[in-house]
Amino acid sequence: MNARGRFISLEGGEGVGKSTQLRALAAALQELGLTVVTTREPGGSEGAEAIRRLLLEGDDSRWSAEAEALLFAAARSDHVGKTIRPALDRGQWVLSDRFVDSSLAYQGGALELGIDRVRQLHAFGSGGFLPDRTLILLMDGGRDRALARDTGESDRIGGRSTDFHDSVERAFRTIAAEEPERVRLVDASGSPEAVTGRLLDQLADLLP
């Protein structure tokens, strides 16, 4: 029987390099002989991708804070059940571009629903299922990079105010301080290769 795989999430604000690092980390882990599945939130399963469009398209006022948090929790429930758990059960490693800590930071912290109340939604939706390790990328200037990448267009949540995004970053720091074993802050400045090296250092104890 296969050993259970490991589940790693990459987190952080807009444009800090999560997608770039997800690809680099997957390649590095494959070099070590691991079978790696990459996925993302909101999304990562058919139902969750449908919910992604509801969440990211339209006006900022489309959903109340509570409805937005519930939609993220519903998408995550489908993603965990249909994609993440089956891959782990096959012995594969799963790397996800965002997971529950984004809900804790964006909806719990910046939208002021409360981090613990959003944890309760995750307990209901996904049995409180958590990554083996969560790597939060931090750097100044990530939003400018995201705007350059998207040629000035933001999605419904990315387009919120600078204060909102500053509050997201503060919440990520709070979450990391609360769970130092699972959650690690990683400096996302410098070359992509330097950042990948820092991420691998934070996974060293989990590698075969």
Q: Which one, 25 or 121, has the nearer CB to ligand ADP?
A: 25
Helix, strand, or coil (residue 130): coil
Q: State the amino acid at position 69 in one-letter form.
A: A
Mind spelling out the 3-state secondary structure of 58-91? CCHHHCCHHHHHHHHHHHHHHHHHHHHHHHHHCC
Q: Does 133 participate in binding ligand TYD (rule CB under 6 A)?
A: no
Annotated ligand binding at 128? The verdict is no
Q: How far apart are CA 136 and CA 199, in angstroms?
A: 9
Name the one range near ligand TYD by CB under 6 A: 80-88, 154-162, 173-181, 187-195: 154-162
Q: How far apart are CA 103 and CA 97, in angstroms?
A: 13
Q: Does 72 participate in binding ligand TYD (rule CB under 6 A)?
A: yes
Selection from ligand ADP, ligand TYD, none that 20 binds (CB < 5 to 8 A by kind) is ligand ADP
Annotated ligand binding at 82? The verdict is no
Instruction: Tokens 């993440």: give the residue.
Output: 84
Instruction: By CB under 6 A, name the one of 9, 102, 126, 134 that touches ligand TYD.
Output: 102
Q: Which one, 14 or 68, has the nearer CB to ligand ADP?
A: 14
Q: How far apart are CA 195 and CA 200, in angstroms?
A: 9
Selection from ligand TYD, ligand ADP, none that 191 binds (CB < 5 to 8 A by kind) is ligand ADP
What the block records as the tokens of 136 is: 């939060």
Q: Does 24 participate in binding ligand TYD (rule CB under 6 A)?
A: no
Q: Does 21 participate in binding ligand TYD (rule CB under 6 A)?
A: no
Annotated ligand binding at 108? The verdict is no
